[in-house]
Amino acid sequence: MNQPLVSILTPCYNSEPFLDRFLECILHQTYAPIELILINDGSSDHTEAVIDSKRQTFLDAGIQLVVRNQPNLGQAAAFNLGLPLVSGTYFTWIDSDDLISSDSIEKKVNYLQMHSDHDCVRTGYQVVHENNLSKIMYTIRPSLSNTSFFEDVLMERTYGTAGTLMIKSQRLFDILPQKQIYQTRAGQNWQLVLPIAFYCTCGTLDEALLTYVIRDQSHSHSKLDDYHYRLQVIEDHLEVVQTVLKSLPLDQTIYQHLALIKYTRRKLILAASFRNRRDAKLQVVELKRLKALTYRDQLTSFYAHPLIVRILDRMTRYN
C-alpha cells in the first residue's frame, strides 16, 4: 500500500560542518516516501557543494530532494520560500544541525494515521554536545496534557522545538492560507508553533525522537557575552510573539499581558546575571506595573545589588 508523502523543510546557513550527518539521518529513515526541501540561505561556505554531493544518493534512495537558493535573508524568509513547495500529506521542519532517529518519521506518521482526530503530533528530544554525539546530556519529555497547550507553549512551560512536531499539511495551510509567516531575522519557530498550538489538536508520543545538538560557536561567544546583544534578542522575540498573537482570534488584553510578563521577567534574569542593578530595578518596576512581581523576582533582582556583587566577586576570586 502506498504511504502518504512527508515533506521536511530545512533552512541551511553555513551548514557545511554538520550538513552531511543531517542528510545521512534523512537517508536512513525507515519511512518512505519523503520529500526534503532545503533552502540555502546565502551560505558563504561549501553548503551548496555538500548538497550537490548527495543528489545522486537521494535519487537512488527514492527521496525527493528539492533545493532552492536565496540571499542571506534569515530563516523566516527561507520558510516563506519553502512553504509553497510543500507537496506532502504531512509536514515537519528540522534544523540542519540537529538529528532525528531513524524511525522518527515513521512513528509520527503512524500516530497521525491511527489518531485521525488529531491535527499534529509532538515528541520529546534529547540533548547532546557536538563533541560527543553518543553521550546524552539530558532528555526533555513532552507534557502529556493538552488542556492548556497554547498557553503552555506561549509561556514556555512546554516547547515546540523544530523537529519534534509533525502536522497534517492541509491543516497547516488552513491556518496559513498564504503559505507565508511573519518575516523577521528573529527566527521562525514562534510564527509556526503558536498558531499550531492555538488552532490544532495535538497528540503526544512520549519518546525522544529528535537529537538537539549543542555546538561550539567561538565566533558567537562574544555576542552571547554581550549584555546589549542578548537584551536585543529578548526584545526581538517579544516583538515576534506580540505580532503573532495579534493575528489570532483571542483576548488580546490577556495574552499580550502574559507575553509582556514573560519577557520582562527574562530581562530581569538577564540583568541580574550581568549584575546590572539599574536595569534589574527597571524590570522590577515593570513587573509591579504588570501586577506580576513575585518573591522569586525580588530574589532575582537581589543578585544585582552592589553588596551581593562584591560578595560574589570575592567568592569567585577565592574559590
The torsion angles phi and psi of 116, rounded to 5 degrees, stand at: -65, -15
Percent of the chain with pLDDT over 90: 79
Residue pointed to by grid coordinates 522545538: 161
Range among 23-37, 173-187, 220-234 rated most confident: 23-37
Give the pLDDT band (50/70/90) at residue 301. Answer: confident
Give the pLDDT band (50/70/90) at residue 309. Answer: very low
pLDDT at 307: 53
Percent of the chain with pLDDT over 70: 91
Mean pLDDT of the chain: 91
pLDDT at 145: 61
Q: How many CB atoms lie within 10 A of CB 134?
A: 5
Average pLDDT for 43-55 = 98
pLDDT at 1: 65
pLDDT at residue 219 tops 50: no
State in Å, rounded, how far the first CA of the chain is from the last one. Answer: 66
pLDDT at residue 260 tops 80: yes
CA proximity to 187, closest of 119, 244, 139: 244
220-255 pLDDT, tens per residue? Answer: 445 557 899 999 999 999 999 999 999 999 999 999
80-131 pLDDT, tens per residue? Answer: 999 999 999 999 999 999 999 999 999 999 999 999 999 999 999 999 999 9
pLDDT at 24: 98
pLDDT at 221: 45
Average pLDDT for 184-207 = 93
Is there a contact between 241 and 158 (Cβ–Cβ < 8 Å)?
no
Give the pLDDT band (50/70/90) at residue 311. Answer: very low
